[in-house]
């Protein structure tokens, strides 16, 4: 499967990740995380394959996260409730999320992209 990147065009981190993959000649399909957010089922798969805790999928620096007071509320929520919340609004999801169907990265770090996506 080709790489898919869930991203938000105004996100600086996403733009860096896109530029990095393009500069490395790595083909990918970009999906607008707000217009085409991953479904609850897709999110559950991404989280499972990433090996990361579900909290790592929240955009903790986002305006929406702060407005909803999620730093406190998440502690009380079940994983199922957290998944519902993530699936309800693409702006709550940390980005970019990149996957090839097997591996998943969340956010952008050059060394992680080098190890995971640049062959």
Predicted confidence pLDDT, tens digits, the chain (119 residues): 689 999 999 999 999 999 999 999 999 999 999 999 999 999 999 999 999 999 999 999 999 999 999 999 999 999 999 999 999 999 999 999 999 999 999 999 999 999 999 97
At 16, list the tokens.
């860096």
pLDDT for residue 119: 75
Domain boundaries, the chain: 3-116
CATH fold label, 3-116: Glutaredoxin (3.40.30)
CA distances (Å), origin 90, targets 1, 28, 51, 61, 105: 23, 20, 21, 14, 17
Statement: the pTM of the whole predicted model exceeds 0.85? yes
């Amino acid at each position: 499967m080709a790489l898919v990147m869930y991203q938000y065009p105004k996100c600086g981190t996403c733009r860096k990740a896109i530029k990095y993959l393009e500069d490395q000649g790595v083909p990918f399909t970009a999906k607008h995380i707000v217009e085409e957010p991953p479904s609850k089922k897709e999110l559950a798969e991404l989280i499972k394959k990433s090996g990361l805790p579900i909290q790592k999928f929240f955009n903790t620096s986002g305006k929406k996260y702060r407005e909803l007071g999620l730093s406190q509320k998440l502690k009380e929520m079940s994983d199922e409730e957290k998944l519902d919340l993530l699936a309800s609004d693409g702006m709550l999801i940390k980005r970019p999320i990149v996957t090839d169907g097997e591996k998943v990265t969340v956010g952008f770090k050059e060394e992680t992209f080098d190890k995971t996506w640049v062959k």
